[in-house]
A and B are shown apart, each in its own frame.
Chain A
Amino acid sequence: MRNPQAKRQSQIITMIVVVFVIFFARLFYLQIIDTSSQISANNNALRNVTQYPARGLIYDRNGKLLVYNEAVYDLMVIPGQVKEMDTVEFCKLIDISIEDFRKNLNKARRHSRFAPSVFEKQLSRETYGQLQERLFKFRGFYVQPRNLRKYPKPVAAHVLGYIGEVDERTIENNPYYKSGDYIGMSGLERFYEEYLRGWKGNKVLLVDVHNREKGSFRNGLYDTASIPGLSLQSTLDIDIQELAELLMQNKRGSVVAIEPATGEILAFVSSPGYDPNLLVGRVRSANFRKLNNDPQKPLFNRAIQAEYPPGSTFKIPQGLIAMQQGVVTEHSSFACDQSQVGCHPHPTVRNMRDAVKVSCNPYFVSAFRRIIQQNKDRNIFIDSRIGLEQWNKDIRSFGFGERLEIDLPHCRPGLIPTVAYYDRVYGENRWAFSNFRSVSIGQGELGIIPLQMANLAAIVANRGYYITPHLCRTLNDTIIPNRDFIQKRYTTVDPEHFESVVWGMYDAVHEPGGTARRARVDGIAVCGKTGTVQNPHGKNHATFIAFAPMDEPKIAIAVFIENSGFGGTWAAPIASLVIEKYLTGEVKRKELMQEMINAGFMTTKGH
């Protein structure tokens, strides 16, 4: 060496060269010698097969199965791997035309050349069996097992909801979902999607040149197991649900029954409904279109989305609020003065109990006037503002005008008119009690959903509180989905004011002159209140709320039937039959039941 620096120069060069030689050797090892990672070098391919978890089953409150899964098979394709093949044989195997084949393949290609797409959905077990044996001839195709929902009984469609393929927006917003995955679209399926769906797993398989699976890649080192969804115990009692749906056939309306002590919904009917089995599998989209175009709107969930004025059932909270505010007592009486509002012939009303029993209109107009105009200001307009504001606080504590946080999507809040509302309609300080007198008796600017009416029945049954009505009892038998579902919500009305109203509701069913005599059930103290909703577009709507037995009530119920006339005629018997079935286990009044089943009110259109 000439000098130390030249020596160091050659040392540095040697080191650089040595490092690169090591890299060359390493690449030689990885790419030429170590065949274990040469997946595609021999035209082998790795296939990621998603392990779909079983979706959680749904049971009723007595453990009867409502929803289960059935295996079907999706035919998947990775367009980049498709090679020349016998298309005719292939199409024959899965029973599609050559045009469909081309269409499906092009669609998959547009999605991605390298990622799998669904080629044909939900092959039957038989088709799958035939295809399986010959699949090796068709490179790029493979079968992905899936679960479909099945319903042993064709009931409770609006509660259970349905599942469908995720849309592009969901896929973009939530990385869990991939194209072709199923997701809850409505009902409990949607609300409890994250619990029911479980968690997908992944299995990496080696696939050879003939599209045959060569087993697990590296002994399943990269596989993840799927986690099954949680089972869901619903609060529904499938027996009375079935009866209620039967009774509601050929009628538009709703039935909601609640266990007052727990807020658990026992029956939840929106009529007309549909068989949930219609929205499953390959027939789903065709049936969905049909149901969606049906003028009777079977997909519309009336029980939580249809807002109606509540009719005379509204007299119950009105009376209670009047007593709580001290503007009337349970002994107050008002003359049946029909100068401002009509009434029907009835015996003299001596007190609140009588007023509820015979549903006297002038009585509640007078009571509501006292609520609204308490002479807190000399100006009648300002006085009405103060009164309406206080009344709003009270009536909203009954769950009216506010969204009940039921575990179903798209529940409507309904409408309770506020000061701001009338300011908008009439102008500030240009309205007083006379402008909304009809609200006294549940007509006019009111929007109440059937669920809220059933909740009202539960409030009276509980003498002053409710628990948010809900449809899921437990997940996996242990998890209570929401703390709200065990929390009592008190109204602003004290329990002692409820007695006169409860007795009035008892009389309405059991005493001569009562409006709801058709709701009697032998041996059971039923308390009920009818309502008839004036309908400017057609025949009046009938409504009825009830609970039973009078002491320690087990069931509270609301029935709403569009265009059926007086509430006592149709709504009351239907409620009483459901009560009878729930409390005694059977219906003894077969004739009444048949009469109700046969009745139909769907001929007149409009709502």
Chain B
Amino acid sequence: MREDKGFLKNVDGWLIFIYLVLVIVGWLNIYAAVYDENHSSIFDLSQKYGKQMLFMIAGFVIAILILLIDMRFFMNMAYVFYGLSIVLLIAVLVVGTRVSGQQAWFQIGGFSFQPAEIMKFATCLTLAKYLSSSGVNLKNASAKFVSLIIIFLPTVFILLQPDMGSALVFTAFILVLYREGLPTWYVWVGFAAVVIFVLDLLVPFWVLLVILGLATSVLIYLNKKTFRNIASAVLLFVAAAGFGYVANHAFEKLEPHQKDRINVLLGKEVDLKGVGYNVNQSKIAIGSGGFAGKGYLQGTQTKFNFVPEQSTDFIFCTVGEEWGFIGSTIILGLFLVLILRIVFLAERQRNTFARIYGYGVAAILFFHVLVNIGMAVGLLPVIGIPLPFFSYGGSSLWAFTLLLFVFIKQDASRIAF
């Protein structure tokens, strides 16, 4: 029996269990989302659900392989992975296949592969390795600088594809830096930037100036009225106004469909047949599920193709419609437990690398869930990124499997250190 238990020794049962549930339920939901009476077997390999089954099996093989490999392998190879992934990102810009305006895929035969997915994993490893090396302290400017380079270098190439969704995912690593001691005001600046950016789109520039002016006055009023404080407040005002001005111009440079999506979210434009259509149909589908849902394969909104991208970005609609409030909260709850469990396990790691890596995994998963479900329930703009373990697609399933199981392996090996 010892032989059999070999590679499962010390692994965290919670994580494995939630992983399996999500992947299998995801597969069943893809079947429901693209259900076609003419190809009613879930094992039909000509259909998405048949292919997802193959992806799933390959994912299990990857998971087992990772558990068999010495955990130090990934730590040692981190920079190599990072370099290779960057090369792939550059290569895809040259020899990749163009799919709906994005040059993000390698297509080899019937098989396609998205290097941005593997980049997330490589960046997570590298960031963990760099921050855990001796002598690196986030209090130093150089460490901050290198960390930000590690995180944002890939986004340059991903934005060239252009794939805004995948690029945005990398901002999740700021959470890791925060945990590792990045000063709080960095986060505040980031937060303020987002607020100004949104205000920028909602109100004319002069109104923004008035608001910023008022905020500055309040700031001055609340603090001691020393010259130093007043000068900093005025400087802050100038910087914020400058950012608002630049952001406004940057927004004008966005692709029209991205502009539209942001505008719809902010309620500036209500065009439910055009850009707002997806979100609105998604909300109707989820809402129509009610408390208990319509039952498996009984969803009408998804069946009638009201909801686009049902098997990938909008897979959560099928859950909402067919399984209702009960089903969606259970799935959401599983994601919550999964992420919190990773954070909890990360904190109990004895070596820094494993801890930082664990936070990276949690941050990426959290960001994906936040954006994907936020979009499906109409709280965030439509940004096409998959729901981890759930959405149709090999690249993303394997990348998430890799991310998670490398962490599980780290955690299982913790005793050995």
Question: Could you list which residues of chain A lie within 8 angstroms of chain B, going by C-beta atoms?
Answer: 4-5, 8-9, 12-13, 16-17, 19-20, 22-24, 26-28, 30-32, 34, 36-42, 45-46, 48, 80, 112-115, 221-222, 224
Closest to A41 in B: B290
Instruction: Contact check, B287 vs A112: say whether CB atoms are below 8 A apart.
Output: no
Instruction: Contact check, A24 vs B329: say whether CB atoms are below 8 A apart.
Output: yes
- Residue among A5, A8, A31, A222 facing the most chain B CB atoms (10 A cut-off): A31
Contact of A115 among B288, B304, B325, B374 (CB under 8 A): B304
Is B294 an interface residue, CB under 8 A from the partner? Answer: yes
Q: Which residues of B are found within 8 Å of A114, using beta-carbon distances?
A: 300, 303-304
CB-CB under 8 A for A12 and B291, given A30-B286, A39-B284: no
Q: Which residues of B are found within 8 Å of A26, using beta-carbon distances?
A: 377-379
Q: Which residues of A are found within 8 Å of B370, using beta-carbon distances?
A: 19
Q: In the complex, what distance in Å separates the CA atom of A540 from the CA atom of B100? A: 64
**Closest CB in chain A relative to B154 CB, distance in Å:** 23
Is B283 an interface residue, CB under 8 A from the partner? Answer: yes
Closest to A224 in B: B273
Q: In the complex, what distance in Å separates the CA atom of A32 from the CA atom of B291? A: 6
Interface of A: prevailing SS: helix
10 A-B pairs with C-beta separation under 8 A: A12-B178, A12-B343, A16-B339, A17-B340, A24-B332, A38-B290, A40-B290, A45-B300, A114-B304, A224-B273
Q: Which residues of B are found within 8 Å of A20, using beta-carbon distances?
A: 332, 335-336
Instruction: Contact check, B332 vs A40: say whether CB atoms are below 8 A apart.
Output: no
Instruction: Contact check, A27 vs B294: say whether CB atoms are below 8 A apart.
Output: no
Q: Given A9-B179, A222-B273, output 15 extra A-B contacts at Cβ < 8 Å.
A: A16-B339, A17-B336, A23-B373, A23-B379, A24-B329, A27-B329, A30-B286, A31-B320, A31-B325, A32-B290, A37-B287, A38-B287, A39-B301, A41-B288, A80-B300
Is B324 an interface residue, CB under 8 A from the partner? Answer: yes
Q: Residue-by-residue, is B376-405 near A (CB-CB < 8 Å gives 1, otherwise 0)?
A: 011100000000000000000000000000
Is B181 an interface residue, CB under 8 A from the partner? Answer: yes
**Closest CB in chain B relative to A328 CB, distance in Å:** 66
Instruction: Contact check, B340 vs A30: say whether CB atoms are below 8 A apart.
Output: no
CB-CB under 8 A for A27 and B340, given A9-B179, A41-B289: no
Interface residue count for B (Cβ, 8 Å)?
Answer: 39
Instruction: Contact check, B37 vs A37: say whether CB atoms are below 8 A apart.
Output: no
**Closest CB in chain A relative to B74 CB, distance in Å:** 24
Instruction: Contact check, B303 vs A5: say whether CB atoms are below 8 A apart.
Output: no
Closest to A111 in B: B37
**Closest CB in chain A relative to B32 CB, distance in Å:** 12
Q: Which residues of B are found within 8 Å of A115, using beta-carbon distances?
A: 304
Q: In the complex, what distance in Å separates the CA atom of A8 from the CA atom of B174? A: 13
Contact of B325 among A17, A32, A221 (CB under 8 A): A32
Q: In the complex, what distance in Å separates the CA atom of A17 from the CA atom of B339? A: 10
Is B230 an interface residue, CB under 8 A from the partner? Answer: no
Closest to A221 in B: B272
Interchain residue pairs A-B with the least CB separation, the first 10: A37-B287, A41-B290, A31-B325, A30-B287, A37-B284, A39-B288, A114-B303, A20-B336, A26-B377, A40-B288
Q: Which residues of A are found within 8 Å of B37, using beta-carbon distances?
A: 112-113
Contact of B179 among A12, A17, A80, A221 (CB under 8 A): A12
Interface residues of B in 176-219 (CB under 8 A from A): 178-179, 181
Is B347 an interface residue, CB under 8 A from the partner? Answer: yes
Q: Which residues of B are found within 8 Å of A80, using beta-carbon distances?
A: 300
Is B366 an interface residue, CB under 8 A from the partner? Answer: yes
Is B126 an interface residue, CB under 8 A from the partner? Answer: no
Q: Residue-by-residue, is B328-363 near A (CB-CB < 8 Å gives 1, otherwise 0)?
A: 110010011001100100010000000000000000
Instruction: Contact check, A16 vs B179: say whether CB atoms are below 8 A apart.
Output: no
Is B146 an interface residue, CB under 8 A from the partner? Answer: no
